[in-house]
Chains A and B, each alone.
Chain A
Amino acid sequence: MKNVRNVAVTLAIFAGSLGAWEAIVRAFAIPIFILPPPSQVALALYRGFASGLYLDHLGYTLLETLLGFIVGSLLGFFLGTAVAMNRWVEFFLYPYIVMFQSLPKVALAPLIVVWFGLGLTSKVINAALVAFFPLLVNTMVGLKSADEDRVSLMRSLAASDGQIFWMLRLPNALPFVMAGLDVAMIFALIGAIVAEFVGAQRGLGMLIQSMNFNMDVSGQFSILLILSFVGLVLNRGIMLIRKRVMFWDPSEKPAIETSPEEAVPAAGRAVATPAKERI
């Protein structure tokens, strides 16, 4: 019953704010190229999908984002592993990593478009570039954060370095890696859109840019709506993967089963404190 009421209230608030928005735009006669009423945005959304225009561009942007995400995360994961596990790699690479980390990666987008053209490649590279660092940093931190006592235990069992990696460090790093993936997914979308802004023939970012030139503000709003929905879906996707990969994590289980007295922190929870990231 409570749930039904909550949903009803949420819907009412949503409808109310849309109505208020519509009313304000009409009452003050705000020009449509400044702030369109929701009805116009809805119309733009409908037309865009009905004509197949949006789906085409959406598909393209999704492709860029996902490819960039996969390439960037894989590279970030493997390089992070190399840095965490090898003193020499760390010694030689770390200065560059620190340098690049403080650089706003999206500022590279114009260069990348110049180097790799207006097509798919430049978008994937730009998306990969911003998705790369969250994975790199989180993998590094995760692999290095294995509890000293657990390492001692493994060594007391005469475990090899390889076994310590596979049986302890890697599973220990998973919460961090998942947190990195979470960030990387959204970063990849941002990277793809920014690269499209700079120069592209297809994609939602390119569409926003051209609508901006035509003062089609309703259209831009409708695309922003799509983008936030896409972001939401991608995020859900990562969360689903996280649930499967980190099946043991108590925070993934329904809370009813443990009372506070039963919850024992010491051996239990893998708490990831992901490193702060910038785009």
Chain B
Amino acid sequence: MAVATEAITVRHLSKTYATRDGAVAALERATFSVGEGEFVAVVGPSGCGKSTLLKILAGILASSSGEALLRGTLIAGPRRDIGVVFQSPVLFPWRTVLDNVLLPVDVQRLGRRPHEQVGVDLLALVGLKGFERKYPWELSGGMQQRVAITRALVHDPAMLLMDEPFGALDAMTREHMNLELQRIWLERRKTVLFITHSIPEAVFLADRVLVMTARPGRLLDDVRVDLARPRPLDVMNTPEFGAHVRHIRHLFNVQGRIDA
């Protein structure tokens, strides 16, 4: 068992929410692992527990049973070696773009001095050079989401957890962001767990696509995508790509749930 090279290990992980109308099983005995430096996408119907899974991994939600490990240690709360990107940018309007990016540095008291340049460089990497002193409301939705990604990278975490980061963007911006994310990932080689509703997006970005069932979410399939990188947008027109997408969509159809 190669524990040392496993960035994320999830075994029989379940989560049941207690609500007024009784218990809601959101996640049921999910088991999978993600290797160090791997890009893994998670797709599944709405409400199948994807965000729940991500919150557990981020250490801000306790699981009901089973275990989740990051780099071999049980998750016992938020950790400093992960960066999280949510569905919305979640920027602070009273902070400038650069100050928003440096939020993890401020919270974890890593020292502004050495990180300011890191922040500026990262912003340039996502195409936001010159926007350091702007406020979030001066940016478009896609630009704001890029700020959020920069913020998740600034403290150089080994792992990125992304919850439908491009869900709110229009198709064009979304494709552009997919290319940028791939570029950043190729440059930095972080472990990425990427949640999405979009099967093509998952296939385009990921080394592996985890397919989840409808609620309560269980793991249905683990699809390896062996397309050469860097993948251009054109790859979406290739038969291999189409075959992957069809396969995953078929899994959903068998489930009786079409969601992409």
Contact = CB atoms under 8 A, between A and B. Distances in A.
Nearest to A157: B107
Nearest to A171: B94
B227 interface: no
Given A150-B90, A152-B60, A269-B93, A157 B55 contact: no
Interface residues of A, number: 31
Contacts of A250: 135, 137
Given A163-B107, A266-B144, A158 B92 contact: no
A268 B90 contact: no
B137 A269 contact: yes
B18 to A, nearest CB: 18
Given A152-B55, A267-B137, A158 B77 contact: yes
Nearest to B141: A264
Interface string A147-173: 101101111111100010001100100
A149 B86 contact: yes
Contacts of A149: 86, 88, 90
A18 B79 CA distance: 71
Given A156-B60, A158-B80, A150 B92 contact: yes
B80 to A, nearest CB: 6
A107 B84 CA distance: 54
A248 B134 CA distance: 10
A262 B137 CA distance: 8
Nearest to A174: B94
Given A149-B86, A167-B106, A267 B93 contact: yes
A157 B108 contact: yes
Interface string A241-279: 000001111100000011000111011111000000000
B209 interface: no
Interface size class of B (residues with CB under 8 A): 20 to 34
Nearest to A159: B107
B136 interface: yes
Nearest to A153: B90
A246 B138 CA distance: 16
B90 A155 contact: no
Interface in A211-255: 246-250
B103 A266 contact: no
Nearest to A148: B90
B83 to A, nearest CB: 9
A149 B92 CA distance: 11
Contacts of B139: 264
A264 B97 CA distance: 14
Task: Label chain A's interface by main secondary structure.
Answer: loop
A261 B130 CA distance: 21
Contact of A157 (B78, B137, B168): B78
A262 B92 contact: no
Interface in B91-143: 91-95, 103-104, 106-108, 135-141
A139 B192 CA distance: 40
Nearest to B80: A158
A268 B60 contact: no
B95 to A, nearest CB: 8
A267 B60 CA distance: 22
Given A171-B92, A266-B88, A267-B144, A156 B136 contact: no
A58 B82 CA distance: 61
A158 B107 contact: yes
A48 to B, nearest CB: 45
Contacts of A270: 93-94
Given A158-B78, A267-B93, A153 B86 contact: yes
Contacts of A159: 107
Contacts of A248: 93-95, 135
A271 B135 CA distance: 16
A262 B58 contact: no
B59 interface: yes
Given A158-B80, A159-B107, A267-B136, A152 B86 contact: yes
B93 A264 contact: no
Interface of A: 147, 149-150, 152-159, 163, 167-168, 171, 174, 246-250, 257-258, 262-264, 266-270
Interface of B: 55, 58-60, 77-80, 82, 84, 86, 88-95, 103-104, 106-108, 135-141, 144, 168
Given A157-B104, A267-B136, 13 more contacts: A152-B60, A153-B84, A158-B77, A158-B108, A167-B92, A167-B107, A171-B92, A263-B137, A266-B141, A266-B168, A267-B93, A268-B93, A270-B93
6 contacts: A167-B103, A168-B92, A248-B94, A264-B136, A267-B89, A267-B136
Q: Top 3 nearest A-B pairs by Cβ distance?
A: A268-B137, A158-B78, A267-B91
